[in-house]
Amino acid sequence: MSFIDPEIRHHFGGGVYAKEMRMPADYVLLHHRHKFDHLSVLASGSIELVVDGKRKVIHAPACLTINANVHHGIKTLTEVVWYCIHATDCRDVDAVDAEVTLPDDMLEARSVAQTLVRSE
C-alpha cells in the first residue's frame, strides 16, 4: 500500500470547483461525506470504489455521481487521475473543503477503510 500523498491541484470557474488528485497505484483514499451531491470523474486509471459498504471496480474514463452525506473511499489499482467536482462560489483553497464537506464520522470512515483493505 502506498503512503505517498496524492498530488492535488485546484481548479475554479463559473461557480464550479474541481479538485484534481493524481495518485499512485495501490493508494487508499478515504473520502469524507459531502453536503451536496457531486460529480467525480475518473480521468485515467482504475479504482475500486466503496460506497455504503459496496465495492465496485471502475476503469477510466468514467463519470460518477456521489450522493450527499455518504461516506465513500477508493483504492487505486493503477496510477489514477481523479476529479471531484462541486458547485460552489468559494475560491479559497484553504476553505473550500470545509465549504463542501460534512464533519467526519470516524466509525463510518473506519468501516470504509476496512472494506478497502480487505479487498487486497
pLDDT tens figures, 68-98: 988 888 999 999 999 999 999 999 999 998 8
Q: Is the pLDDT of residue 61 over 90?
A: yes
| Region of residue 112 (phi > 0: left; psi between -120 and 50: alpha; otherwise: beta) | alpha
Q: Is the pLDDT of residue 116 over 70?
A: no
pLDDT tens figures, 17-38: 999 999 999 998 876 788 999 9
Q: Where are the domains of the chain?
A: 7-118
* 8 Å CB contact between 42 and 62: yes
- Please tell me whether the overall predicted TM-score, pTM, comes out greater than 0.85 for this model: no
User: Which set of grid coordinates corresponds to residue 67?
Assistant: 450522493
CATH code for the part of the protein at 7-118: 2.60.120.10
